[in-house]
């Protein structure tokens, strides 16, 4: 520590009210991990510690600082400058007078855990590029991934430093995954490349999955449920058709099937291997998709940043009395087995709760017909819902 008194002190005047003369009386050079303690005659103590990276401006605001006679307050001046003040216990009247003269406002006290936890939610929401379906974004940190969880596919985007936060909204139970990796290249080709390779790889994966024993097949249960609710014939558009195992079964059940996928190979696979119509394109950009009795989003909306906007577009491609089937990963159930579950893998921006799926539907202009939770044969935790457009009048 090196203390250099300024003698005589450098004086300057500040203040919006009565002029306040400040006397600048010393410079203190601390080495990293050195600390000085400022004290008052009344017994309050304030520690300031140097670190190699800078300073701890205060001891812990909700613990040590208040036990040493000081309360931290976040304050704002009329010209939108923000300060942290430390009020010495017993000096409240002097503090109030000062605030009045200077027109400063105390925005809140930073000394109780509940207030700081609320502030944490606000700061996390401000940093998160994603919104939960209830839009309150009361996010708390559930888990920080420092490495990919076991079984997660390694995309080019995740081959460098891996860091990712799983946040959960305290209001609607929805999860979002926040990271700074580049996801933009994930679906145009990387996703298929990473998962299946070429057209032949798609065909082999299709044959393996469509050949599963019915008791082991997620698609068998899915199609059975859809036929129960939507009937045994009609037209279906499957958004994000991927391997097309689902449409293969819907076609066999008697439905007219159209696949939509952003990957050209998946579309060729749908036409050539599965024998259904396929449209290559982006659901958010295409206007000429036709009209359907049923539009399906099978584990698709969790992969986009704004699932409300994507789902809302579905209404324009529905026939009168048409409906939408939505299937999503169930984070609410999966989290009981930990954040390493596949429901929370990097390619899912959103992982849902029952409440957040219902809110997603409502915000996209739909009403929920049925909403259910299941554990699939593959062990996936899944939420599925049938939803239909809200009538225009309401």
Which stretches of the chain bind Zn ion, using CB under 5 A?
Answer: 132, 134, 136, 169, 171-172
Which CB sits closer to Zn ion, 172 or 279? Answer: 172
Q: Following DSSP, what letter does each residue of 114-133 receive, concatenated?
A: HHHHHHHHHHHHHH-S---T
Q: Hey, how many other C-beta atoms are within 10 angstroms of the C-beta on 117?
A: 13
Which CB sits closer to Zn ion, 158 or 353? Answer: 353
Cis peptide before 253 (omega within 30 of 0): no
Q: Could you tell me how many residues make up the chain?
A: 394
Buried b (16+ CB within 10 A) or exposed e, 296-325: bbbbbbbbbeebbebbbbbbebbeeebbbb
Distance CA 278, CA 270 (A): 6
CB of 252 to Zn ion, least distance (A): 40
Which CB sits closer to Zn ion, 69 or 173? Answer: 173
Which CB sits closer to Zn ion, 136 or 362? Answer: 136
Which CB sits closer to Zn ion, 172 or 239? Answer: 172
CB of 136 to Zn ion, least distance (A): 5
Residue the block writes with tokens 């798609």: 202
CB of 175 to Zn ion, least distance (A): 10
Give φ, ψ of 241 to 5 degrees: -75, -25
Which CB sits closer to Zn ion, 58 or 136? Answer: 136
Say which residues have a Cβ less than 8 Å from residue 129's Cβ, sequence separation at least 6: 178, 305
**Which among 356, 371, 367 has a CA at the least distance from the CA of 172?**
356
CB of 171 to Zn ion, least distance (A): 4
Angle at 393 between CA 389 and CA 394, to 5 degrees: 70
Which CB sits closer to Zn ion, 63 or 140? Answer: 140
Local structure of 274: helix, strand or coil: helix
CB of 169 to Zn ion, least distance (A): 3
CB of 217 to Zn ion, least distance (A): 33
Say which residues have a Cβ less than 8 Å from residue 317's Cβ, sequence separation at least 6: 237, 289, 290, 291, 292, 295
**Which among 309, 315, 308, 353 has a CA at the least distance from the CA of 334?**
353
Which CB sits closer to Zn ion, 172 or 361? Answer: 172
CB of 314 to Zn ion, least distance (A): 22
CB of 117 to Zn ion, least distance (A): 16
């Amino acid at each position: 520590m090196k203390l250099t008194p300024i003698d005589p002190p450098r004086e300057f005047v500040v203040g919006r009210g009565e002029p306040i003369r400040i006397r600048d009386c010393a410079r203190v050079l601390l080495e990293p991990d050195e600390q000085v303690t400022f004290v008052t005659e009344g017994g309050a103590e304030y520690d300031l510690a140097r670190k190699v990276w800078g300073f701890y401006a205060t001891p812990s605001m909700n613990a040590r600082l208040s036990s040493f006679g000081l309360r931290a307050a976040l304050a704002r001046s009329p010209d939108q400058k923000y300060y942290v003040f430390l009020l010495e216990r017993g000096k409240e009247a002097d503090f109030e007078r000062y605030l009045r003269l200077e027109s400063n406002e105390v925005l809140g006290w930073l000394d109780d855990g509940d207030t700081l936890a609320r502030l944490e939610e606000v700061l996390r929401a401000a940093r998160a590029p994603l919104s939960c379906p209830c839009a309150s974004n009361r996010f708390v940190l559930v888990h920080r991934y420092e490495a990919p969880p076991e079984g997660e596919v390694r995309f080019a985007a995740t081959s460098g430093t891996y860091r990712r936060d799983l946040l959960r909204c305290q209001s609607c139970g929805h999860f979002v995954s926040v990271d700074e990796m580049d996801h933009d290249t994930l679906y145009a080709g990387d996703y298929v490349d990473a998962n299946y390779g070429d057209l032949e790889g798609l065909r082999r994966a299709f044959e393996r999955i469509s050949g599963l024993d019915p008791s082991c097949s997620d698609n068998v249960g899915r199609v059975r449920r859809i036929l129960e609710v939507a009937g045994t014939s009609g037209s279906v558009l499957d958004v994000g058709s991927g391997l097309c195992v689902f449409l293969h079964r819907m076609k066999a059940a008697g439905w007219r099937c159209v696949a939509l996928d952003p990957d050209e190979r998946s579309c060729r696979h749908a036409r050539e291997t599965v024998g259904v119509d396929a449209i290559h394109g982006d659901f958010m950009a295409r206007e000429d998709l036709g009209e359907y009795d049923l539009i399906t989003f099978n584990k698709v909306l969790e992969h986009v940043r704004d699932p409300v906007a994507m789902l809302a577009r579905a209404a324009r491609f529905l026939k009168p009395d048409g409906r939408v089937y939505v299937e999503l990963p169930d984070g609410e159930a999966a989290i009981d087995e930990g954040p390493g579950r596949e429901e929370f893998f990097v390619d899912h921006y959103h992982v849902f709760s029952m409440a957040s799926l219902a809110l997603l539907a409502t915000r996209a202009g739909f009403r929920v017909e049925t909403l259910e939770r299941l554990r699939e044969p593959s062990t996936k935790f899944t939420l599925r819902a049938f939803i239909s457009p809200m009538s225009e009048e309401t």
